[in-house]
Structure 1
Amino acid sequence: MTTRVWDYLGEYAEERTDILDAVNTVFDSGRLILGNSVLGFENEFAAYHGLPFATGVDNGTNAIKLGLEALGVGPGDEVITVANTAAPTVVAIVEAGATPVFIDVREEDFLMDTDQLAAAVTPRTTAIVPVHLYGQCVDMAPVRQLAVDHDLMILEDCAQAHGARQGGQIAGTMSDAAAFSFYPTKVLGAYGDGGAVITRDKAVHQNLRRLRYYGMEEVYYVVQTPAHNSRLDELQAEILRRKLRRLDAYIAGRNRVARRYEQGLGDIDGLSLPATNQGNTHVYYVYVVRHPARDAIVEAMRAHDIALNISYPWPVHTMSGFAHLGWRPGSLTVTERLANEIFSLPMYPCLPEAEQARVVEALRSVIAAL
């Protein structure tokens, strides 16, 4: 049997009754679009973060796009972010009409190198999108200070950091707004696509409500500003309401898996395990390790029927779809070096301990044989 990087079937077996009840709740409600389930999830998701406002949208990419637009970012603006991220982060910036400006990441944690922020600011810079990658937060203090010094907006990309904390503050609450994805693999995942934007700013919240629904506000069929249809589905919202109650348990489960990896792999020369920064609480969306012989390891593990993932093998600035931005290979040295060395081990709360032990044993033997 192949060991997958991620699998939801064990979780579904445990939660099946509740998930199917969520489906019945929606189908029995008589309201399939923007009903009580979406409203209930928005209120509960906002409350989980201690904020007054959350807006459900159809996916995490549009959460970033609409979040930026709601903050007033658009054509002619520059947005500082990183290339060591999932491509949707940058797609969303481009779709909002802005120009992404990349800075490099740090060797030790693969997160935004905030020491490079100031040099990236130009008169056109209007926002920063720090990406809380793999399950822990970017060092937000210098990001916030730079934003104050240059009058910039901050939109946190929290797609991989549901429930992560820094200095006691939960991811998504250290900025003007924050975008989340509920893609099934996420720490809080739906049974399909979904996203949300949270904020403490009522005007931003009102902009979001309009932007996700054709540009309509209080009166249906009256468009204030033309926009797309980006609504969160009622069915996914009800499932997310149920799963939100278990989010802290999911995080605890991921941390147990991470501890077992540390115990089983921590003594292997040349293999770097995830480092949790001081003051951070890691939620281990993915368990990313590093080794200079990455490609050989990934190939050899296939012979053991163990699938590994690479997050991410191609830095965004090297992709042909973003060639028009003018970035060249060699411009982000750490990001490009990491792309050749990092890979992810199986990580999800229901990963059976025996299956994880098989992954550890196989990885140890593969690296020993290099």
Structure 2
Amino acid sequence: MIPFLDLKAQYASIKEEIDAAVLGVLASAQYVLGDEVAAFEREFAEYCGAKHAIAVNTGTSALHLALLAAGVGPGDEVITVPFTFVATASAICYTGARPVFVDVEPVTLTMDPTALEAAITPKTKAIVPVHLYGQMAEMDEIAAVAARYGLPVIEDACQAHGAEYKGRRAGSLGVSGCFSFYPGKNLGACGEGGIVVTGNDEHAARIRMLRDWGQEQRYHHVLKGFNYRMDGIQGAILRVKLRHLENWIAMRRAHAARYTAMLADSRDIRRPSEIAGRRHVYHVYAVRTDDRAALQDRLQANGIQFGQHYPIPVHLQAAHADLGYGPGDFPVSEAAAREGLSLPIYPEMTVRQVESVVAAVRASAYVG
């Protein structure tokens, strides 16, 4: 069996480092925030090329607090995309604002800048592009539209640790960038975690208070805040894993290159495209096909796990029916949801495993 993701293999490769880091936190008894979290914040900010990093308990919390710091609240609108994990929209709703969707580009499946301006209204308070699958959105064009209307751009970089756009790291191009450390991410915790990076001093200070009950100092509650703190063990684990991230990205990119090359003559399998000037970190290697069921059957018959990211776009989810969207409103997103299938990709994969996946895909595809 070839798993979609092998977290056991990752742990085995760095077991001694992880175990020592965890035991260090247990010995220190700094279980919530503490020195390890503070050190991770400094190191991750440097990695992203940002001035500040504020660690929280989930990527969703990171988005929520970044939006609040930007002044988003009840009655506002925030523009994002429907082809994303539901947390992007949920974080907007947590502020009391309304998600407003624009469709994605057909090649990258990231925000279509040409659709952006028409969605802006007097209620628009922020723009949240999603760096999907490990590739960044078209940030220059999005930023240009945002600047014309004086709107902050908050990057949903939850799938894009280490991705780059024209030499700049994800999270460093907007007023803030938000990351998830869910275990399956390229940089994943052994549990939940998230972080906001920003170059804005005021936003950083506000987010630090909001994550810890709105405290400016202990028992001095300046804001109505939240319990969104990162625990010390996750901070220590993430410090270890951050040291390996660039090597893991290189391995993911090598596997993705093999997939792309070996599937080049599979005419009904559309491979992901890496846009010039952007470093794709391949959190997901998602192909598209008109007959997804046949491809799924073939993979299952060969003991190969797969994923679907995402089979129902957010605007068609029952939880967000109140937004008033319906089928046909965002055709590119809806097509991607029908056609997409994610192949196994993780640093510890072997070349033979990649070849086995390719063989199964090619057996279900038209080749020639």
Other-structure match for 2:320: 322
Matches within 5 A, 1:141-290: 141-217=140-216, 219-290=217-288
SS at structure 1 position matched to 2:153: strand
CA distance in 2: counterparts of 1:100 and 1:47, whole angstroms: 31
SS at structure 1 position matched to 2:74: coil
- Residues 268 and 366, structure 2, Cα contact 8 Å, conserved in 1: no
Other-structure match for 1:352: 350
- Residues 298 and 360, structure 2, Cα contact 8 Å, conserved in 1: no
**TM-score if structure 1 supplies the norm length?**
0.97
Q: CA deviation at 1:210?
A: 0.7
- What does the per-residue CA deviation read over 1:79-100, in whole Å, with 9 as the maximum and x for residues that have no partner? 0000000111111111121100
Given the alignment of the two structures, is residue 336 of structure 1 paired with residue 334 of structure 2, yes or no?
yes
CA distance in 1: counterparts of 2:340 and 2:204, whole angstroms: 37
- Unpaired runs of 5+ residues, structure 1, are none
Other-structure match for 2:295: 297
% of aligned pairs identical? 42
- Residues 81 and 129, structure 2, Cα contact 8 Å, conserved in 1: yes
- Unpaired runs of 5+ residues, structure 2, are none
- What does the per-residue CA deviation read over 1:145-171, in whole Å, with 9 as the maximum and x for residues that have no partner? 111110101100001111111111111
CA distance in 2: counterparts of 1:192 and 1:266, whole angstroms: 37
- Residues 267 and 365, structure 2, Cα contact 8 Å, conserved in 1: no
Other-structure match for 1:49: 48
**TM-score if structure 2 supplies the norm length?**
0.98
Q: CA deviation at 1:50?
A: 2.0
Aligned letter for 1:299?
Answer: D
CA distance in 2: counterparts of 1:295 and 1:99, whole angstroms: 35
- Residues 211 and 229, structure 2, Cα contact 8 Å, conserved in 1: yes
CA distance in 2: counterparts of 1:297 and 1:359, whole angstroms: 11
Aligned CA RMSD, in angstroms, stands at 1.1
CA distance in 2: counterparts of 1:259 and 1:91, whole angstroms: 34
CA distance in 2: counterparts of 1:347 and 1:128, whole angstroms: 30
Q: CA deviation at 1:267?
A: 1.1
Aligned letter for 1:337?
Answer: A
Matches within 5 A, 1:68-87: 68-87=67-86
Q: CA deviation at 1:368?
A: 4.5
- Residues 181 and 193, structure 2, Cα contact 8 Å, conserved in 1: yes
User: For this pair of structures, how many residues does the alignment match?
Assistant: 367
- Residues 128 and 156, structure 2, Cα contact 8 Å, conserved in 1: yes
Aligned letter for 1:164?
Answer: A
Q: CA deviation at 1:108?
A: 1.3
- Residues 77 and 97, structure 2, Cα contact 8 Å, conserved in 1: yes
CA distance in 2: counterparts of 1:85 and 1:100, whole angstroms: 12
CA distance in 2: counterparts of 1:66 and 1:89, whole angstroms: 12
- What does the per-residue CA deviation read over 1:274-328, in whole Å, with 9 as the maximum and x for residues that have no partner? 1011211110000011110012211232111111111000000000100011111
SS at structure 1 position matched to 2:342: strand
